Amino acid sequence: MKRIVVLGMVLGLSACASSEGQRRVWTPEEPTIVGQPVATPAPSVPARPLPPPGISDAPGQPQRAEDLSGAAVTALMRQARTALDAGAPQQAASALERALRIEPRNPFVWSLLGEAYLAQANYAQADSVAAKSNALAHGNPWVELQNWRTIANARAALGDPSGESAARQRVRELEQWLQDGGGR
């Protein structure tokens, strides 16, 4: 009995499958068809550029450490930045390690630690720590941009020209994408 009712409904609905009503009715159950643009954007809005691979297209990603971090970590990062600017990278690293003990997966902290290692001429660690930040960045373009700059500089100092140019390429892609309004 129930089946017949359902069948009736189905037949009724499939009858209008080609009409415009179909979408309105079916959308909740049906995933968007892969590879097909859903709707044509209004001509006044420019098309969003596709992000470089691995970069998240989600808008509203935190741009600065303060957008993501707690007050304590923000204070420690400010302290670290001051120390770094004053030419005291060891002090900066020390403050950043304190911050990491509080928020061990904060990509901004790892990113700044990479810069601190660069300033200490510890290039291998600068490269590794920036890679660690990338792994925690959830595809955040701003964090990754800084990290790839650090990585490029570290690889240049390590005498790894091919590694450096790959990193520079990534820097250019990210810069271009952000310039075109990506990530907004």
User: Is residue 121 close enough to count as binding another protein by CB under 8 A?
Assistant: no
Cα–Cα nearest to 112, from 146, 85, 141: 146
Q: Which stretch binds another protein (CB under 8 A): 43-51, 66-74, 159-167, 172-180?
A: 66-74
Residues 18 to 37: which contact another protein by CB under 8 A? 22, 26, 29-30, 33
User: What CA–CA distance (Å, rounded) separates 74 from 142?
Assistant: 17
Residue 131 in contact with another protein, rule: CB under 8 A: yes
Least Å distance, CB 70 to another protein, is 5
Q: Which stretch binds another protein (CB under 8 A): 100-108, 148-156, 159-167, 175-183?
A: 100-108
Using the rule CB under 8 A, is 156 a contact of another protein? no
DSSP secondary structure string, 108-155? HHHHHHHHHHHHTT-HHHHHHHHHHHHHHSTT-HHHHHHHHHHHHHHH
In the three-class reduction of DSSP (H, G, I as helix; E, B as strand; rest coil), residue 63 is classed as coil
When the beta carbons of 72 and 121 are compared against another protein, the nearer one is: 72
Burial 102-122 (b: 16+ CB within 10 A, else e): ebeebbbbbbbbbbbbbbeeb
Smallest gap from residue 45 Cβ to another protein (A)? 28
Closest approach, Cβ 23 to another protein, in A, equals: 10
Q: Determine which residue in the list 112, 113, 151, 178 makes contact with another protein, applying CB under 8 A.
A: 113
